[in-house]
């Protein structure tokens, strides 16, 4: 049975939260919001679209407030995604599929010239 830390909003399979050491974790329930991933603004838009297409409801939190976004520029903003525990596995699979590709594209074609 998966456990859940409401402080960190993550789900795991051990008795103590691996992120904060919280021992008072509860059993994960289908409706618990779990951390999915963190992306910059551009990828967050892509991911939001794909999650919507797959019918997965999600919650987005910006790393900075609206006022800060104007001052530092939107490029520095990261968006954190949360999904219900029951959707976490499916959503995690989507994230893996979506973002595993950009690791390979970075391999130095530029150096051929």
Residues forming contacts to Zn ion in the complex (CB under 5 A) are 5, 7-8, 17, 19-20, 22
**Least Cβ distance, residue 108 to Zn ion (angstroms):** 39
**Least Cβ distance, residue 12 to Zn ion (angstroms):** 9
**Closer to Zn ion by Cβ: residue 18 or 93:** 18
**Least Cβ distance, residue 83 to Zn ion (angstroms):** 17
Q: How many residues does the chain have?
A: 113
| C-alpha torsion sign, points 36, 30, 6, 58 | positive
**Which residues, 6+ apart, have CB-to-CB distance to 33 below 8 Å?**
9, 59, 82, 83, 84, 85
**Closer to Zn ion by Cβ: residue 11 or 47:** 11
């Amino acid at each position: 049975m998966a456990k859940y830390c409401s402080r960190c909003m993550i789900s795991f399979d051990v008795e103590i939260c691996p992120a904060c050491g919280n021992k008072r974790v509860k059993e994960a329930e289908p409706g618990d919001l779990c951390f999915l991933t963190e992306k910059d603004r551009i990828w967050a838009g892509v991911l939001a679209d794909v999650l919507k297409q797959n019918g997965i409801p999600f919650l987005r939190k910006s790393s900075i407030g609206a006022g800060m976004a104007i001052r530092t520029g939107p490029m520095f903003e990261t968006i954190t995604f949360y999904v219900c525990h029951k959707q976490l596995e499916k959503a995690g699979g989507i994230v893996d599929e979506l973002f595993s590709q950009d690791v390979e594209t970075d391999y130095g074609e530029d150096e051929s010239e």
